[in-house]
């Protein structure tokens, strides 16, 4: 696991862009896993700028998203379909047939999950998976207590996650109580992980993730076991870390995943 602490959210987004852009330039037909939320939004705006500037081509890229709410149609303002198309896919030359986001309203959710796993396998696996982290240490919608070997499946959301997401809805009662999510085992199958965290609200989760024991009660701790995990946190999210030697760790080793 390679940890990099940078001063600000913008610096985190800039470094994330370097890593994703390098992946796409070295392998134009990469399979990229994407996350939603405010943390990767800066990365996505930078990817759009790179494409508009003629520096990135997405024509051969295949994408898989981590999760989607159950019960929200794709055009709902808070659906993850809507988020990804609004922030990224509508502004780049990705082939819509290569975009995969779990169908939160599909009949037969178990079958939807099975087909999603099958599509990842048929695509050759995920080359680079972008991740955020919840304040309670969840990855995607793998809440505390989730199996560390789990696959794509429906999951109930914890009350803390529902409260965190309520700010995005006009009425807190509208917040979905279930989601379809990639499992921890599915995420760990990706060849590379890029975990991003920003803000003081993520400081406790990052302390547990990077410096605590591996436990299903903090699902993000599993990244400690991934052979090619790159974690980028800003100073605020790193404020509870005990081992400040993480700062500047990239300089002596170059800018490659190890």
Q: What is the pLDDT of residues 67-112, one digit of tens each?
A: 999 988 899 989 999 999 999 999 999 999 999 999 877 678 999 9
Report the relative pairing of strands 99-100 and 67-69 from DSSP bridges.
Answer: unpaired
Return d(Cα 200, Cα 137) in angstroms, integer.
14
Which one of the listed residues 87, 138, 207, 230 is annotated catalytic?
138
Is 136 a known active-site residue? yes
| For the chain, the helix, strand and coil percentages under 3-state DSSP, each to the nearest 5 | 40, 20, 40
Predicted local confidence at residue 160, as pLDDT: 82
Return d(Cα 184, Cα 181) in angstroms, integer.
9
Is 50 a known active-site residue? no
Report the relative pairing of strands 178-181 and 153-156 from DSSP bridges.
Answer: antiparallel
Which one of the listed residues 4, 50, 67, 127 is annotated catalytic?
67
Which one of the listed residues 136, 164, 226, 234 is annotated catalytic?
136
Distances in Å between the Cα of 158 and the Cα atoms of 89, 162, 177, 184, 205 are: 29, 6, 8, 17, 16
DSSP state letters, 58-76? -TT-EEEESEEETT--TTS
Q: Comparing 136 with 104, which gets the higher pLDDT? A: 136
Q: Which residues pair with 179 in a beta bridge?
A: 69, 155
Predicted local confidence at residue 258, as pLDDT: 33
49-71: average pLDDT: 97
Angle between helices 38-52 and 80-87 (to 10 degrees): 40
Return d(Cα 252, Cα 75) in angstroms, integer.
46
- Whole-model pTM: value is 0.92
The fraction of the chain above a pLDDT of 90, given in percent, is 80
Per-domain boundaries in the chain: 2-245
Is 87 a known active-site residue? no
Task: Check: CB of residue 232 under 8 Å from CB of residue 15.
Answer: yes
Is 67 a known active-site residue? yes
Q: What fold characterizes domain 2-245?
A: Rossmann fold (3.40.50)
Which one of the listed residues 127, 143, 234, 235 is annotated catalytic?
143
């Amino acid at each position: 696991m390679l940890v990099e602490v940078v001063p600000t959210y913008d610096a985190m987004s800039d470094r994330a862009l370097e890593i994703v852009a390098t992946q796409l330039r070295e392998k134009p037909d990469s399979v990229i896993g994407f996350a939603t939320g405010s943390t990767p939004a800066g990365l996505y705006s930078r990817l759009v700028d790179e494409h508009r500037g003629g520096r990135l081509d997405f024509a051969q890229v295949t994408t898989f998203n981590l999760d989607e709410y159950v019960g929200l149609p794709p055009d709902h303002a808070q659906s993850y379909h809507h988020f990804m198309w609004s922030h990224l896919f509508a502004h780049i030359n990705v082939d819509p047939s290569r975009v995969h986001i779990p169908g939160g309203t599909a009949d037969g959710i178990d079958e939807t999950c099975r087909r999603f796993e099958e599509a990842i396998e048929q695509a050759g696996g995920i080359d680079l998976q972008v991740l955020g982290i919840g304040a309670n240490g969840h990855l995607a919608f793998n809440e505390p207590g989730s199996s560390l070997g789990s696959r794509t499946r429906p999951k109930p959301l914890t009350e803390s996650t529902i409260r965190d997401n309520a700010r995005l809805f006009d009425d807190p009662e509208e917040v979905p109580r279930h989601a379809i999510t990639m499992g921890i085992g599915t995420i760990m199958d990706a060849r590379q992980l890029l975990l991003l965290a920003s803000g003081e609200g993520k400081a406790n989760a990052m302390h547990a993730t990077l410096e605590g024991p591996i436990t299903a009660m903090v699902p993000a701790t599993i990244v400690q076991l991934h052979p090619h995990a790159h974690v980028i946190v800003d100073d605020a999210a790193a404020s509870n870390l005990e081992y400040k030697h993480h700062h500047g760790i990239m300089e002596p080793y170059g800018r490659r995943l190890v």
